[in-house]
Chain A
């Protein structure tokens, strides 16, 4: 669309990430984890990325953070190209982008104390002498509502929610501007999740952070994200503001997901789209169906859907969909002009 505008902290353009997993008669086989994604994130917002397993949402997160190198496409952070592995990025960029992983059990070294875990980013990214570390670490722990004696505990002896808070503290230690949160509360209970999410929202305001928030939990997304993007098999299906996303979901996959969320209030029940029952298994990203990748499970399938992959269409300001059902709208719009 346009060039990098001043208020975009991250801009992803035509990102593709393919994993080579072998060969067959026709040639090499790839897992097309991310297959042409355009996305941007504005300063200070929380962009939610939703999808099921195999959708590519985690792959995008990992590529942004530097675990993977993009197969093609661009990633611009504050205008600078960061489409490379973390080891090749300058330290100043590594400081700015941090990640919180999904599984608190394996994201903290079980053989270290919290003090050692938090000391690492301090040592690398600041010039502070070691004596001052402890003071800063206590401040950091207090920000995430953990008492100072947690410094001497080690991960196996503390609960999942607390471990995740430590992971958040570690991410904040280098004073970043963008934090990628890969399903940070999926492994936790609802009451613990509430605490952590509230803390994350407070910290976002306090420290002027931008979040790329990934989850499969739609009801969580509704209350956390400013804008939501939904992915299926490596491509984005729909992007909209959070409220619009739930009040007027356009893409059939979006409707299918929303209709399968278990809800508890009458208000929510009315909001759910009717009767888009999910059928069939999710195809694997090795064998992506031709045309629109969703057509095999789509209740509104048309003949064009199995042949041509739809383009992204802007239905209204900020609300874009990738679906042939709305191509007519776009045609109508261009005809009018």
Chain B
């Protein structure tokens, strides 16, 4: 083996070992900055708990059957007790079980909405920012302006009311009004990053537009996108809870948090547990995502 090959072999070897080391080092750094604020860790724990509960719902809830068609008038309207930790509703279903199953619908909703809205919005924002002050910019941004000017809940309600009320259509409604926020966010960043010297250098040396948009500009736009995603899970939750509060989401007997709050509100204040616990579940979950989002923002900012 001559010197050149030896050098290259050494580099390859250290690259593999190096990769693992670098990866681990990166993770530890991120964790250090994330965990500086204890509240972020709390947020992470709440979110983790909600996710685990949602995934393992059928196996860990005391009364999994109560999440489906089930009636037990004998045990209806029970206040919280050892048997039913959070009480039962007016047809005898365990509130705790239904809340945990409701997490499923909520999380699926958030995941699907964001999985579609974020890439679409980001892509449009990148294009508009790259072709700043050209026709594409105007078209994309004015369209998103239209969507942004309609109050989000009104838009979601109208779409959901036109289509049949079910989970899928609620998701469509929310997705349609969600993407412009990302477009605007990424547009702001992309239009200023495209003037940075490293982008100019790539352009001067002959890089293709694809390379500049996706390899130079996009990686520098991602931090606020990730932060916003974490916070948005909370927002989607509220919107979807609002939709199901007025009956335009998951339909009975599948539990959904908003619907449980709406239902339970009719029995206030005597049978308070039917409304209060689902509401608390909403509040705590959203709080968790917000704290997590703050932590992600701190983590990404400090590591620059």
Direct touching of A and B (C-beta under 8 Å): yes
Residues of B within 8 A of A99 (CB): 201, 204
Is the CB of B2 closer than 8 A to any CB of chain A? no
Please state if B4 and A135 are interface contacts (CB–CB under 8 Å): yes
Question: Least Cβ distance of B95 to chain A in Å?
Answer: 47
Residues of B within 8 A of A170 (CB): 201
Our pick among B11, B206, B216 for the contact of A138 (Cβ within 8 Å) is: B11
Residues of B within 8 A of A109 (CB): 198-199, 202, 216, 219-220
Scan B264-304; emit 1 where CB is below 8 A from any A CB, else 0.
Answer: 00000000000000000000000000000000000000001
Please state if B15 and A110 are interface contacts (CB–CB under 8 Å): no
From known contacts A138-B7, A148-B7, A156-B304, infer whether A94 and B206 are also in contact, taking CB-CB under 8 Å.
yes
Scan A110-137; emit 1 where CB is below 8 A from any B CB, else 0.
Answer: 1110001000110011000000001100
Our pick among A66, A94, A106, A121 for the contact of B198 (Cβ within 8 Å) is: A106
Residues of A within 8 A of B72 (CB): none
Is the CB of B8 closer than 8 A to any CB of chain A? yes
Residues of A within 8 A of B197 (CB): 101, 103, 106-107
Scan B1-29; emit 1 where CB is below 8 A from any A CB, else 0.
Answer: 00010011001001100100010000000
Complex Cα distance, B201 from A170, in Å, reads 10
Is the CB of A152 closer than 8 A to any CB of chain B? yes
- Tell me which residues from 188 to 205 in chain B have a Cβ below 8 Å from any Cβ of chain A: 196-205
Smallest Cβ-Cβ distance to A170: which chain B residue? B201
Chain B interface mostly helix, strand, loop or mixed?
helix
Please state if B205 and A174 are interface contacts (CB–CB under 8 Å): yes
Please state if A125 and B219 are interface contacts (CB–CB under 8 Å): no
Is the CB of B38 closer than 8 A to any CB of chain A? no
Please state if A121 and B204 are interface contacts (CB–CB under 8 Å): no
Please state if B211 and A120 are interface contacts (CB–CB under 8 Å): yes
Residues of B within 8 A of A103 (CB): 197
Question: Least Cβ distance of B186 to chain A in Å?
Answer: 15
Question: Least Cβ distance of B262 to chain A in Å?
Answer: 46
Residues of A within 8 A of B219 (CB): 109, 111-112
Is the CB of B207 closer than 8 A to any CB of chain A? yes
Complex Cα distance, B206 from A110, in Å, reads 20
- Tell me which residues from 132 to 172 in chain A have a Cβ below 8 Å from any Cβ of chain B: 134-135, 138, 148-149, 151-152, 156, 170
Please state if B207 and A120 are interface contacts (CB–CB under 8 Å): yes
Complex Cα distance, B200 from A268, in Å, reads 40
Q: What band does the interface of chain B fall in when counting residues whose beta carbon is under 8 Å from A?
A: 20 to 34
Complex Cα distance, B4 from A125, in Å, reads 23
From known contacts A106-B198, A107-B197, A109-B220, infer whether A65 and B304 are also in contact, taking CB-CB under 8 Å.
no
Is the CB of A277 closer than 8 A to any CB of chain B? no
- Tell me which residues from 165 to 202 in chain B have a Cβ below 8 Å from any Cβ of chain A: 196-202
Complex Cα distance, B211 from A121, in Å, reads 12
Smallest Cβ-Cβ distance to A107: which chain B residue? B197
Residues of A within 8 A of B199 (CB): 109
- Tell me which residues from 156 to 192 in chain A have a Cβ below 8 Å from any Cβ of chain B: 156, 170, 174
Is the CB of A108 closer than 8 A to any CB of chain B? yes
Smallest Cβ-Cβ distance to A154: which chain B residue? B22
Our pick among B7, B11, B215, B220 for the contact of A110 (Cβ within 8 Å) is: B220
Please state if B14 and A149 are interface contacts (CB–CB under 8 Å): yes
Please state if B205 and A98 are interface contacts (CB–CB under 8 Å): yes
Scan A57-95; emit 1 where CB is below 8 A from any B CB, else 0.
Answer: 000000001110000000000000000001100010011
From known contacts A120-B207, A124-B206, A152-B18, infer whether A135 and B201 are also in contact, taking CB-CB under 8 Å.
no
Please state if A135 and B198 are interface contacts (CB–CB under 8 Å): no
Complex Cα distance, B18 from A311, in Å, reads 62
Please state if B18 and A149 are interface contacts (CB–CB under 8 Å): yes
Please state if A101 and B201 are interface contacts (CB–CB under 8 Å): yes
Complex Cα distance, B195 from A67, in Å, reads 11
Our pick among B18, B196, B203 for the contact of A87 (Cβ within 8 Å) is: B203
Please state if B205 and A120 are interface contacts (CB–CB under 8 Å): yes
Complex Cα distance, B4 from A94, in Å, reads 30
Looking at B8, B196, B200, B204, the one whose CB has the most chain A CB atoms below 10 A away is B204
From known contacts A109-B219, A148-B7, infer whether A125 and B201 are also in contact, taking CB-CB under 8 Å.
no
Please state if A124 and B22 are interface contacts (CB–CB under 8 Å): no
Residues of B within 8 A of A95 (CB): 206
A residues contacting B by CB (< 8 A) are: 65-67, 86-87, 91, 94-95, 98-99, 101, 103, 106-112, 116, 120-121, 124-125, 134-135, 138, 148-149, 151-152, 156, 170, 174
21 A-B residue pairings within 8 Å (CB atoms): A67-B200, A86-B206, A87-B203, A95-B206, A101-B197, A107-B198, A108-B198, A109-B198, A109-B199, A109-B216, A110-B304, A112-B216, A112-B219, A116-B215, A125-B206, A134-B8, A149-B14, A149-B18, A151-B11, A152-B18, A156-B304
* Known contacts A109-B220, A120-B202, then 19 further A-B pairs from the complex at CB < 8 Å, ordered by chain A residue: A87-B203, A94-B206, A95-B206, A101-B197, A101-B201, A106-B197, A107-B198, A108-B198, A109-B198, A109-B202, A112-B215, A112-B216, A112-B219, A120-B211, A125-B205, A134-B8, A152-B15, A170-B201, A174-B205
Q: Which 8 A-B pairs have the closest CB atoms?
A: A111-B219, A107-B197, A109-B198, A106-B197, A124-B206, A94-B206, A101-B197, A86-B204
